């Protein structure tokens, strides 16, 4: 059973609908103790880092997420949910995160497309994944186009980066550390390829 965390800043229904369309049981958890019946967790998110981490802490989600990750439960963060997994963010001040991955979240730098046009920030739309290492859930995703909506991105050590996308420069598109995964893009909005990634996550072995 897949537990989707509702901390007030998540794109909940589309994520839930995606798993259900794939035939997996999913529910939206409004309290940390409701995750007792989950065997994997989704941390979604839209909005700013500071507000997101404040809501996680206010609801006690931060402790539950870290405990679940340490216990080996499969955990995936999507968009802001991925960013919150890092040590800190430079978005609208300095904020500490969950620390599940080393590194920081910073604004996408101004850049230009190959034809010389200035790139818009936020990055909104479809962009191509370039795999950087073998992944448990992104098998066959090299060269696949997925959907992004973000102005900030994660900067971390190469060993955790499973894929990047080019937007003026290489930007971390996904990270992976054992049972913990992060997607800067929205797999639930990325068509059949995105659903395939969610399917692989739902089929992972592990849990409490």
Catalytic residue numbers, as ranges? 79, 186, 188
Q: Any bridge partners for residue 176, and if so which?
A: 181
Contacts of 118 (CB under 8 A, 6+ apart): 110, 111, 112
Asked if residue 87 lies in contact with residue 103, where contact means CB atoms within 8 angstroms, the answer is: yes
Grouping H, G, I as helix, E, B as strand and the rest as coil, residue 191 is helix
Q: Any bridge partners for residue 181, and if so which?
A: 76, 176
- Dist. CA 34–CA 89, nearest whole Å: 28
Helix boundaries (H) for the chain: 12-21, 49-58, 61-70, 80-83, 191-202
- Dist. CA 17–CA 25, nearest whole Å: 10
Contacts of 164 (CB under 8 A, 6+ apart): 129, 130, 132, 170, 171, 172, 173
Helix boundaries (H) for 59-179: 61-70, 80-83
């Amino acid at each position: 059973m897949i537990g989707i965390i509702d901390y007030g800043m998540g794109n909940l229904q589309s994520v839930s609908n995606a798993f259900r369309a794939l035939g997996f049981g999913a529910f939206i958890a409004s309290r940390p103790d409701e995750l007792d019946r989950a065997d994997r967790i989704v941390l979604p998110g839209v909005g700013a880092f500071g507000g997101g981490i404040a809501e996680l802490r206010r609801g006690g989600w931060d402790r539950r997420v870290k405990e679940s990750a340490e216990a080996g439960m499969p955990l995936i963060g999507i968009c802001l949910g991925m960013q919150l997994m890092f040590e800190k963010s430079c978005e609208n001040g300095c904020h500490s995160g969950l620390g599940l991955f080393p590194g920081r979240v910073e604004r996408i730098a101004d850049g230009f497309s190959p034809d010389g046009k200035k790139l818009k920030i936020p990055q909104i739309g479809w962009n191509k994944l370039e795999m950087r290492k073998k992944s448990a859930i992104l098998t066959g995703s090299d060269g696949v186009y997925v959907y992004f909506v973000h102005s900030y991105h994660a900067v971390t050590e190469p060993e955790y980066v499973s894929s990047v996308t080019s937007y003026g420069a290489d930007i971390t598109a996904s990270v992976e550390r054992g049972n913990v995964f992060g997607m800067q893009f929205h797999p639930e909005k990325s068509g059949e390829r995105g659903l395939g990634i969610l399917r692989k996550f739902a089929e992972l072995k592990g849990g409490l």
